Structure 1
């Protein structure tokens, strides 16, 4: 098969996502934990070929011929990030003239910078959780799993 120089380049897979909320649940830190959200987001980013926008890869320089295309895709990944955050988290992360990687890092800082105090609080909740405080064994087990996650 020969390719014609006039044939348009195929559309990047990222453009096929109409609504990220159908694919990635909203990160709120309660129902959806940070670690679960990261795993799911990275899975989709890898699948749609945009993991390099959040993994610390160096973006092309503005004079590079691919920069314009990269910048548009980065804006879509940034929309994915903002679109999968709770209103409270989005207010803390939302910024003008930012890239997806910068927003990703801000979210990481929110959840991991206070890791030791958060771990202490979770350990306290775990130790003090009793079966009698839950309506059933299933609810008790789910609370334990949620705290562990």
Structure 2
């Protein structure tokens, strides 16, 4: 909840972003292992779910908002969530090969 920008003190509920409703991404996207699930099929599935959960802008060529943008904190939080989805749908062997610190989806 946030206070009204007018200073009236009213509290408004913020809408829940659809990405927060995903409790287990592995039930939606199979694990990329390179043999049973190929990169091509995994990316098609991942993009489909990213579109459905309104996070496609985190994996396409859309630029991240600047840190001073009022929506940046939520964008950054959702970006971390999408990055977790990516890591959680990779086989252990592939994950350790691409795991990086301070990266975005």
TM, length-normalised to structure 2: 0.89
**1:53-132 → structure 2 map (5 Å cutoff):** 53-100=58-105
Structure 1 unaligned residues grouped into runs of 5+: 101-149
CA distance in 2, matches of 1:74, 1:64: 15
Structure 1 runs, 4 residues or longer, greater than 6 Å off: none
What is the root-mean-square deviation in Å for CA atoms of aligned residues? 1.1
- The answer to whether structure 1 residue 43 and structure 2 residue 43 are counterparts is no
CA distance in 1, matches of 2:23, 2:103: 22
Structure 2 unaligned residues grouped into runs of 5+: 5-9
Deviations 1:107-132 (A, max 9, x none): xxxxxxxxxxxxxxxxxxxxxxxxxx
For the residue of structure 2 that corresponds to 1:64, the secondary structure is coil
For the residue of structure 1 that corresponds to 2:31, the secondary structure is coil
Bigger helix share: 1
Number of matched residues? 97
- The answer to whether structure 1 residue 23 and structure 2 residue 40 are counterparts is no
Higher RCO structure, 1 or 2 (CA under 8 Å, sep 6+):
2
